[in-house]
Structure formats: structure tokens, C-alpha cells
């Protein structure tokens, strides 16, 4: 599965969990952050820098989605496998940006 399709699949899973995704310009801030999960007015929101490459967006979505109960959500076995095996992503250091 190519990165573009995988990213779309992960965004759809977030939508099924009622998690909004916002792509904003975070690089111009006074602090360095690429994105993460936050709660705005009672709604879970994933905020990501719009200039992040697709691979980093995928990594961030996987790490965030792992925090939720995904058992009732239908997803392709390949996507479930990727979400279930995020230890490789944590080893690359993306985890500290959450």
C-alpha cells in the first residue's frame, strides 16, 4: 500500500473515532512541535504541521490511534498490523514529538 493511500486510511479511522485532524502551520511558532493529540472544547483533535511529509504524518497518526480502542473499527488487516506494531516508529524518535 502506498503512503498516500495509507494516510487516507488512517485519517478515515480517526474520523470514525470522531477525532478531528487539523493541518496548520506549526513551524513558524516560537516552539518546535510537529503535532500531536489535544482536546479542544471537549473534542479530540490531532494537529499536524501542514509541511510534514506523508511518512511523518503516518507515523504520528499511528502513534495517536494506538491510544484508542480500535476493536470495533473495521480496517484492512495491513492497516491494523501497522497500528499494532508502532514500536519501530517509536525507535525513530517520533514519539517524543507528541
Higher pLDDT, 28 or 50: 50
Q: What pLDDT sits at residue 32?
A: 66
**CATH class given for the domain over 3-92:** alpha beta
pTM reported for the whole predicted model: 0.78
Q: What pLDDT sits at residue 63?
A: 94
Identify the CA nearest to 53 among candidates 85, 27, 82. 27
pLDDT in tens, 31-45: 666 788 999 999 999
Q: So where are the chain's domains?
A: 3-92
pLDDT in tens, 56-93: 999 999 999 999 999 899 999 999 999 986 544 444 44
- The CA distance from 49 to 57, in Å, is 9
DSSP 31-45: S---EEEEEETTEEE
Amino acid at each position: 500500500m502506498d503512503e498516500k493511500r495509507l494516510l487516507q486510511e488512517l485519517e478515515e479511522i480517526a474520523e470514525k473515532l470522531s477525532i478531528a485532524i487539523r493541518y496548520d502551520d506549526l513551524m513558524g511558532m516560537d516552539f518546535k512541535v510537529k503535532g500531536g493529540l489535544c482536546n479542544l472544547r471537549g473534542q479530540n483533535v490531532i494537529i499536524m504541521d501542514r509541511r510534514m511529509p506523508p511518512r511523518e504524518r503516518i507515523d504520528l497518526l499511528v502513534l495517536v490511534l494506538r491510544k484508542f480502542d480500535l476493536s470495533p473499527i473495521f480496517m484492512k488487516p495491513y492497516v491494523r498490523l501497522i497500528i499494532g506494531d508502532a514500536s519501530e516508529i517509536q525507535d525513530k524518535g517520533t514519539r517524543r514529538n507528541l
